[in-house]
A = this chain, B = another copy of it.
């Protein structure tokens, strides 16, 4: 494997994954026979390339993990594009996310986002702050993703005793929940 190739594998993985990822995890994904040092070197060369050219995409370090994000110099342009055509209220987005968690728990953020088709960081934050969901551990896979569950507070809000008292899903023919 050429060095350039390693750099671009890292690029594609970070783009698709979107969440913070560690050197160790990247090492496992790219090639376990390489050393962590080597991966770190290639990652840093990618980071510098983005930074030196003031590119649209940047990689930031958070604790010991790395994440791809947009360049803050271009924030004004991005705000323009993210202006939604159909505006959602926080309550609508919250209800959608909460419903998905309620029926599919335990569930990770990535899984929720794949169902909703949008990033859900903000909504999850709101749900956590209102004690409607909790972080119920982590999955033992790359990124150690947090898994979410609904809380007793959620049941109280709905005035039900157990999750089983949620409207049954079988009623909606098209739905299948694993």
Contact = CB atoms under 8 A, between A and B. Distances in A.
A81 B142 contact: yes
Nearest to A17: B81
A10 interface: yes
A56 interface: yes
A16 B78 contact: yes
Given A16-B82, A82-B110, A11 B57 contact: yes
Contact of A4 (B14, B53, B110): B53
A8 B143 contact: no
Interface in A1-48: 4-5, 7-17, 21, 25, 28-30
Contact of A57 (B15, B30, B54): B15
Contact of A56 (B8, B28, B82): B8
Q: How many copies of this chain are found per oligomer?
A: 2
Contact of A12 (B10, B71, B110): B71
Interface string A80-103: 111001000000000000000000
Contacts of A81: 13, 16-17, 21, 25, 29, 142-143
A165 to B, nearest CB: 25
Given A9-B56, A11-B55, A25-B81, 17 more contacts: A4-B53, A7-B56, A8-B53, A9-B74, A12-B56, A12-B71, A12-B77, A13-B78, A15-B15, A15-B56, A15-B57, A15-B68, A16-B70, A28-B80, A29-B81, A82-B110, A129-B174
